[in-house]
Amino acid sequence: MIDIRGLTKQYGRRSALQNVDFVVRPGITGLLGPNGSGKSTLIKAILGLVRANSGSGTVLGMQWPKDVRILRDRIGYLPEDDCYILGLQGIESVRLMAQLSGLPGSEALRRAHEVMDFCDIEQERYRNVETYSTGMRQKLKFAQALVHDPDLVILDEPTTGLDPNQREEFLGRIKTLATEFGKTVLLSTHILHDVHQICDDVTVLVNGTVRLHESLQTLEKPTQNGMHVVVVSDVEKLQVELQQQRFLVEQTDVNSLFVHGLLSSDASIVWRSATQCGVIIQKVDQARNSLDKIFMQIAGAD
């Protein structure tokens, strides 16, 4: 969907992006990076909002950056910034975006209502956008990004300002778009939980260079088999019990253990051992690499 090579962008003497090779497959790709790492510049360069100093490739099968203006008809963009058009009602605002993307007048209005329904904007659509709360504005921007039915949806910090329920619903909608309607989604965020929940691939950008590009499944695949066990109390008792059964057990936290070599199919051994030594188990989880740790390692390497 996106295959851009050698992308460089400089602001004066400062390099925002240095020879970036950026690939996005169909599905949902999380774009991670610390502040100032070049995520927004990369997104704006893809959209042609900032002119790259070098780089070429394809986006949705079209030449980039040559066809970038035509491409915008097929890309939906939710900007990070709090942006709206003063004086317009929500519905007028979405309709305007539809018309700017080439939908004829009456069709644009019909489509705007349809997308606002999908984004859960009810009667508020008839209010002026400057009176919207932060959460409502995020929904409005999402509706604006989707109104022309784009093939590629670029979301820059989409869940900022949403309460937990709204966040879950929002992520659900993004997932629906990707799984049921075949949209390719590029999700730029700081919230690793969001990435963990819905992304298929992860790209980490640090200091204007791509430091990691991998599928989430591969990333989270543990380097060794094992299971994490969290107990309510008496973690030592369970550790001794499991060691007696010849497992290599490591205490990772006050109430947590890591049992090396234990497969999820053998989780019953842990439960049995806990019953025998009278320890209450809170959670048993298959070992996997933590996205937080991976991100911290990469981002902290500089």
Partner 1 sequence: MPVLDVGYRTWSGERTFSLFRWWVVAWSGIRLLLAGTALRRVMIVATIPALLSGVAIGVFEQATVDDSLRQSVTKEMFGRRMDRAPRDSIWQVLRPAVENPKENRHLVWTFILHWYFRYPQAICTVVMLGLVAPRLISYDLRSRGYLLYLSRPLTPWSYLIGKASVLYFLLAMITTLPALLIYMAGILMSTSSGAILETWDIPLRILLSTCVLVLPTTAVALALSSMTEESRFAGFGWFAIWIVGWVTYIVMNATLMRRFDRFQRGMVQEEEYFYYLSPYHLLGQLQREIFGLMPTDRGIDFLAWILCAGITLLGYGIAYRRISRTLKV
| Residue 30 to residue 47: CA distance in whole angstroms | 17
Tokens of 94: 């979405």
Which of 130, 250, 266, 292 touches partner 1 (CB under 8 A)?
A: 130
Q: Using the rule CB under 8 A, is 172 a contact of partner 1? A: no
226-251 in b/e form (b: 16+ CB < 10 A) is bbbbbbeeebebbbebbeeeebebee
Answer whether the bond into residue 65 is a cis peptide, omega within 30°: yes
Which of 177, 205, 199, 201 minimizes the C-alpha distance to 46?
205
264-288 in b/e form (b: 16+ CB < 10 A) is eeebeebeebbeeeebebeebeebe
Which of 61, 62, 63, 102 touches partner 1 (CB under 8 A)?
A: 102
- 170 neighbors 204 (Cβ within 8 angstroms): no
Nearer to partner 1, 9 or 228 (CB): 9
Contacts with partner 1, 147-166, as mask; x by CB under 8 A: -xx-----------------
Q: Using the rule CB under 8 A, is 184 a contact of partner 1? A: no
User: What CA–CA distances, in Å, run from 131 to 62, 94, 243?
Assistant: 39, 16, 62
Give least dist CB 4 to partner 1, A: 17
Inter-helix orientation angle 134-146/105-118, to 10°: 130
Give least dist CB 5 to partner 1, A: 21
Tokens of 266: 């053998």
Contacts with partner 1 by CB under 8 A: the residue count is 50
DSSP H helical ranges for 14-73: 39-47, 68-71
Which of 4, 7, 16, 192 touches partner 1 (CB under 8 A)?
A: 16
Q: Using the rule CB under 8 A, is 49 a contact of partner 1? A: yes
Which of 10, 18, 19, 99 touches partner 1 (CB under 8 A)?
A: 99
Which of 20, 24, 146, 287 touches partner 1 (CB under 8 A)?
A: 146
User: What CA–CA distances, in Å, run from 242 to 207, 277, 290?
Assistant: 45, 10, 24
Contacts with partner 1, 235-264, as mask; x by CB under 8 A: ------------------------------
Contacts with partner 1, 51-80, as mask; x by CB under 8 A: ------------------xx-xx-x-x-x-
- Only one of the segments 89-97, 219-227, 253-261, 290-298 lies at the binding site for partner 1 (rule: CB under 8 A); that segment is 89-97
Nearer to partner 1, 40 or 159 (CB): 40
Report the half-sphere exposure of 260 (CA within 13 A, side-chain side): 10
Which of 28, 47, 152, 219 touches partner 1 (CB under 8 A)?
A: 47
Residues engaged in binding partner 1 (CB under 8 A): 11, 16, 40-41, 44, 47, 49-50, 69-70, 72-73, 75, 77, 79, 81-88, 92, 96-97, 99-104, 107, 111, 114-115, 117-118, 120, 122, 130, 144, 146, 148-149, 173, 176-177, 180-181
